[in-house]
Amino acid sequence: MATVIATINLKGGVGKSTTTAALAEFMSAEFGYRVLVVDLDPQTNLTTMMIGEQRWREVNDRGLTLNNLFASALDTDLPEFDVEKALQRNASALESVRSVDLLASSLDLMETQEEMNAWQYEVPGSLEPLLVLRAALAGIKSSYDFVLIDCAPNLGIVTANGLLMSDAYLVPTIPDVLSTYGIPQLQKRVQKFVDHTGHELTPLGLIITKYRSSSTLHRTTIERLQRAVFEFDSAAEKDRAGRQRPPNVIPHWIPESNQIAQSAEFVDYGTLRQKYGTHGQFEALRNMTEHVVQNAGVYL
């Protein structure tokens, strides 16, 4: 059965989509896993990274994006969403990545997302609006080892659909003050979600993105994040009561690099090394992926 991992952060621009795409490509090309990538963000960055803008337009025009899933859940007069048809098989442009499929997002999801949020208030207390994605994927999930869900930077109903079918979550963050400021808030909101739904989620940790080794701020921020975990773990039980354990810091930082920034462009680079770069980027991404795979295996 697939392990489902959501990437979330309430902040945009922290490398969520870039990291999710890289994780999927490394899981496939380096470790041989079958991966489904689910793009829940109406910004559709992950989708265009994987299949390019032209193919996205075709998919969108044919009604084969996740927008059509949520729209048909809201309006039963619309044609039913056919997940098998919507699957973009072998979605990566890289030749060496052979087992990554995609469920595409759409800019139209921006509006549908608002309607999903409104639906929740029409049926107070019901989990039905949160179960749309899970129900749609029930029949195909077992074809994958991992399902990676890239979420929009909010915790609305569409994101909640992603969380409700996830076993675990990852939080990509840039190691600076502004980017890490909201992490305790995010953890609290996830805990509230868990309390509300009764659905447990394992925190797999923070992925440090856009790391600059020359930046003192980046280094001191990572030290602060690591120290918070250590201090929590070594605190007396009475001092921990009512506090959440800060998230682990995955010990393989993703460097800031032009090549990773350019990986957002839809081009066939051939290999992962050519695409992501050989000045430490390939190794960092490979090690990060291996760590995530191992921890998913340990905790789930």
Ligand X SMILES: Nc1ncnc2c1ncn2[C@@H]1O[C@H](COP(=O)(O)OP(=O)(O)O)[C@@H](O)[C@H]1O
Q: Of 183, 185, 209, 192, nearest to 21 (Cα)? A: 209
From 127-135, 241-249, 258-266, 291-299, span contacting ligand X (CB under 6 A): 258-266
17 binds Mg ion (CB under 5 A): yes
101: number of Cβ within 10 Å: 22
From 10-18, 31-39, 189-197, 287-295, span contacting ligand X (CB under 6 A): 10-18
Q: Which does 83 bind (CB under 5 to 8 A by kind): Mg ion, ligand X, none?
A: none
Pair 66, 106: CB distance under 8 Å: yes
Provide the 3-class DSSP secondary structure of residue 97.
coil
173 binds Mg ion (CB under 5 A): no
From 44-52, 89-97, 211-219, 283-291, span contacting Mg ion (CB under 5 A): 44-52
Cα distances from 19 to residues 31, 173, 275, 285, in angstroms, run: 16, 10, 13, 8
Provide the 3-class DSSP secondary structure of residue 35.
strand
From 75-83, 138-146, 226-234, 254-262, span contacting ligand X (CB under 6 A): 254-262
From 115-123, 180-188, 234-242, 249-257, span contacting ligand X (CB under 6 A): 249-257
Quick one: how far is CA 145 from the chain centroid? 15
DSSP for residue 271: S
- Give the chain's largest Cα–Cα span: 58
12 binds ligand X (CB under 6 A): yes
210 binds Mg ion (CB under 5 A): no
The least CB distance from residue 247 to ligand X, in Å, is 16
Task: Output the CA angle 157-209-146, nearest 5 degrees.
Answer: 55
Going by C-beta distance under 8 Å and a sequence separation of 6 or more, which residues neighbour residue 104? Answer: 39, 44, 47, 51, 56, 59, 60, 64, 65, 66, 86, 88
256 binds ligand X (CB under 6 A): yes
218 binds ligand X (CB under 6 A): no
Q: Which does 14 bind (CB under 5 to 8 A by kind): ligand X, Mg ion, none?
A: ligand X
Q: Considering beta carbons, is residue 16 or 275 the nearer one to ligand X?
A: 16
48 binds Mg ion (CB under 5 A): no
232: number of Cβ within 10 Å: 14
Please pick, from the candidates 3, 17, 44, 60, the single residue that binds ligand X as defined by CB under 6 A: 17
Considering CB under 6 A, how many residues would be counted as binding ligand X? 16
Q: Which does 139 bind (CB under 5 to 8 A by kind): Mg ion, ligand X, none?
A: none
- Tell me which residues touch ligand X (CB under 6 A): 12-18, 45, 209-210, 254, 256-257, 260-261, 264
